[in-house]
Structure 1
Amino acid sequence: MEAGIVGLPNVGKSTLFNALTASKAAQSANYPFCTIEPNEGIVSVPDGRLDRISKYFNPQKIIPAALKLVDIAGIVKGASEGEGLGNKFLSHIREVDAILQVVRCFEDPDVTHVAGGVNPLSDMEVIETELMLADMQSIENSRNKAERAARAGDKEAKERLAVMEKCTASLDQLIPLRKLKWEDSEQKILASFGLMTAKPVLYIANVDENDLGGNGPLVQKVKEFATANGAGVVPVCAKLESEIAELDEGDRLEMLQSVGLEEPALAYLARAAYQTLGLQSYFTAGPKEVRAWTIPIGATGPQAAGVIHSDFERGFIRAEVYTLQDLETYKTEAAIRQAGKLRVEGKAYVMKDGDICHFLFNV
């Protein structure tokens, strides 16, 4: 799964993307549409549980979970009608699973704002409106074909048409599709449309170095908007984070301490993006490696095993599961087993975030 970084031009998207992916490429020039084709990068998801588990195994490698990020060019008012190469850029958003919207919450006379002034609420509404207009157009383009098939008695077409009508009714009232309740059968159809306002959103408030905690009035407006729309907010100073990302480990810790941070804000952002995508981690542990594996929330034992190898899912017999708390209490897997804390779970088991597992399979 992947998340797309979007926003108006010059809000700090590419700066943030470069910092997240530890890119040392030259910073983009200060003008709109400097990102044309989307850049892609893989971001590690910091997880303190990996180090806690590793204390008991002394592994050769520690492998964190990761997620894919896509830096999509700036969207402007009128993008749904082709402004600013809008149709091309919107097509990139359709392909991602979640949207990370960067919102400018800092004043800087040297950084041009496409609308002439800093107004995060206006910026957020521009993006939301353009995505809704584009979704309306997508539905309209598909409606005739679905109507013809439905009139011919195609049951699947009738179901698709019913979902289209529900989407249209919502969008006509300027309500993004992610705010509606969907049945499981509707969800599957909705996902096939690739509609952008159905995707989960995380707002990234790009703040000034004097407001790293995101307590200023501009960020408060973003938080109010996000709360009303069931979304999260992470304040990040993209400029500072890009500088921190360029440093070696020692200098990085010193700089973090100097600004009062325990870890880069990007660590919080990566975890928040992971959650926005509906993902969680389970762990495998041994002397060769301690590793976090990424699964959707609600995945079963066999589905989790299949992330390691398809044979594990196909020949799944059972999972042996214990918790980090068990490990910290009993110190070794042998002691956990002896204490009767090693659980044996079957095919119907729904994985919990943080499970430490061994899978038994036979093919």
Structure 2
Amino acid sequence: MEAGIVGLPNVGKSTLFNALTCSKAAQSANYPFCTIEPNEGIVSVPDSRLERITKFIPPQKVIPAALKLVDIAGIVKGASEGQGLGNKFLSHIREVDAILQVVRCFEDPDVVHVAGDVNPLVDIETIEMELMLADMQTLDNSLPKAERAARTGDKEAKLRVDVIKKCTAHLATDQPLRKLEADENETKIIRSFGLMTAKPVLYVANVDENDLLGEGPLVKQLQDFATKVGAEVVPVCAKLEAELAELDPADRAEMLESVGLKEPALALLARATYRTLGQQSYFTAGEKEVRAWTIPVGATAPQAAGVIHTDFEKGFIRAEIYTLADLEQYKTEKDIRAAGKLRVEGKTYIMQDGDICHFLVNS
């Protein structure tokens, strides 16, 4: 799963991306289009449950869940019509599964705001409008081909025409497609177009070092807006996080303590991104490794096994599952089994976040 980091120029996107991916490259200069190609990186999803498991099952290595992040160049008003670097970068957003929109929530006369004034809601409106206009173009361009195919009597093509028209009418109300009610078949077609406003969004409030918890008025505006649209907001000081990313663990812990934080804000952001993508983790635990595996919320046990290897889904027989609470109470898998707490689940079992599993499969 991929998340694209977007925003207006000079809101701290690349600084945030470098910190998230622990990049030690020099920070980008204060110019609107310093990101020319989308940078890609992998970020671990911090999960304290991994450490808790290893207290009872010491492994040779620990492997956390991971997310792929894409740093996309700043979008400006008129991007859908080719302004700035235009559609070149809008196309990159079509390829990701969720959008992390970095919103500037700090004042700094040395960092020029592309629109002149710092206003989180205006920034969001600018980005959203450009994405909606680009989606309208995509739909308009797709309609003639779909209509030609529909005239042959193709039922799938007819449905595509209906979906295109439904999406176009919705966008005409200035509402993003993530608010559109659609059934499973319609949703599948919408995804095939890579429509950007249909993707879930997470707002990242880039704050200054005097407002690390995001309690200032600019963040409050953003939080009120996000609550109305059913999105999350994570306050992050990209400048501080970039400095933390450069430190070794001991110095990082000392710096966090000095500013009153228990963990880097990037840890909160990674977990929020995971939720926004509709993902959850299950664990496998043994002497070789303790590992978090990423699955969609609602995945079945065979689908979860298939994440390890596609053959495991085909040959799935059953899953043996226990919880972290079971492990902390009984200390070993042997004692969990003896206490009757090791559950045997079949093909219809819906995986729960944090399940610890063994899969039995046909070889």
Task: Confirm or deny a common fold (TM above 0.5).
Answer: yes
In the alignment, is residue 53 of structure 1 matched against residue 53 of structure 2? yes
Give 2:152's aligned residue. 152
Deviations 1:138-165 (A, max 9, x none): 0000001111222221100111111111
Q: Would the aligned equivalents of 1:179 and 1:230 in 2 still touch at CA under 8 Å?
A: no
In structure 1, distance between residues paired with 2:161 and 2:336: 54
Post-superposition Cα deviations, 1:252-289, rounded to whole Å, max 9, x if no partner, equal 00000000000000000000001101100000001111
Distance 2:224 2:97 in 1: 24
Gap regions ≥5 residues in structure 2: none
Give the 3-state SS of the residue equivalent to 1:209 in structure 2: coil
Deviation track 1:10-64 (CA, whole Å, cap 9, x = no partner) reads 0000000000000000011100110010000000000000001110011111110
SS for the counterpart of 1:235 is strand
Preserved CA contact (<8 Å) 1:73 1:89: yes
1:55-70 aligned at under 5 Å gives the runs 55-70=55-70
After TM superposition, the structure 1 = structure 2 runs for residues 92-241 of structure 1, keeping only pairs within 5 Å, are 92-241=92-241
TM-superposed CA distance for 1:179, in Å, is 0.9
Aligned residues: CA RMSD: 0.7
Structure 2 partner of 1:355: 355
CA distance in 2, matches of 1:256, 1:270: 17
What's the offset of the Cα at 1:243? 0.3
Identity %: 79
Q: 2 CA distance for matches of 1:150 and 1:172?
A: 24
After TM superposition, give the deviation of residue 246 of structure 1 in Å: 0.4
1:344 equivalent in structure 2: 344
| 1:149-192, Cα deviation, whole Å (9 max, x unpaired) | 22221100111111111101110000101012221111111110
Contact 1:283 1:354 in 2 (8 A): yes
For 1:30, the equivalent position in structure 2 comes to 30
Q: How does 1:278-293 map to 2 (within 5 A)?
A: 278-293=278-293
Q: Which residue does the alignment assign to 2:39?
A: 39
Match of 2:358, SS state, is strand
3-state DSSP class of the match of 1:84?
coil
Structure 2 SS opposite 1:28: coil
Give CA deviations for 1:316-337 in whole Å, capped at 9, x if unaligned.
Answer: 1110000001111111101111
1: distance between equivalents of 2:47 and 2:109?
38
Match in the other structure for 2:247: 247
Work out the number of aligned pairs and report it: 363
Q: Distance in 1 between matches of 2:284 and 2:196?
A: 35
In the TM superposition, residue 230 of structure 1 has moved relative to its aligned partner by 1.4
Hey, what does 1:271 align to over in structure 2?
271
**TM-score, structure 2 as length reference:** 0.99
* Aligned partners of 1:103 and 1:206 also within 8 Å: yes
Partner of 2:305: 305
Match of 1:315 in 2: 315
Mark the runs of 5 or more structure 1 residues left unpaired by the alignment: none
Letter in 1 for 2:198: A
Determine the structure 1 residue equivalent to 2:11: 11
